Amino acid sequence: MNVEWYIVLSSLIFAVGAMGLLLRRSPVVILLCLELMLNAGNLALVAFSRMVGNQQGQIFAIVVMVVAACEVVVGLGLIVAIFRRKLPLDVDALRELRG
């Protein structure tokens, strides 16, 4: 398969993730959509690494995976903290910082 197929698929997944980010209001689902977007980036990185024939893009993808894991841990910690304070789990209701 040509590399452009992978790139088009990656941009499609990224667009679906961004759409979910705009559409949904539950923080858990927003984190899931962030995962989708990061994975789309990973797919593009690995596809380009295959196109060039160089393995360094795969190292980059692994680092992106590490960053995504950290983001998940901190985000889920925030969600648990919000839930413990009995605040509503809705990003539109949590707007104290909006100014």
Partner 1 sequence: MEAVLFFLAAIGALGGAVGVVAMRNPFYGVLALIVHLFSLAVLFLLLTSAFVAAAQVVVYAGAVMVLYVFVVAYVGGDTESAWEPIPGQRFLAPLLGTALFIELSIAVLSSSLLALGTHGPDVNPGFGDPAAIGRLLLERFLIPFEASSILLLLAAVGAVVLAGRNREEGTSSEHSAPKARSEEVPSSL
State in angstroms the smallest separation of the CB of 34 from partner 1.
11
Q: Which residue shows structure tokens 């993730």?
A: 17
State in angstroms the smallest separation of the CB of 35 from partner 1.
6
Q: How far, CA to CA in Å, does 35 sit from each of 16, 42, 61, 95, 97?
A: 11, 10, 13, 23, 24
Alpha helices for the chain (secondary structure H):
3-23, 27-52, 56-84
State in angstroms the smallest separation of the CB of 99 from partner 1.
13
Q: Which is nearer to partner 1, 36 or 99 (CB)?
A: 36
State in angstroms the smallest separation of the CB of 10 from partner 1.
9
Pull the structure tokens for residue 50: 């295959």
Pull the structure tokens for residue 84: 């413990």
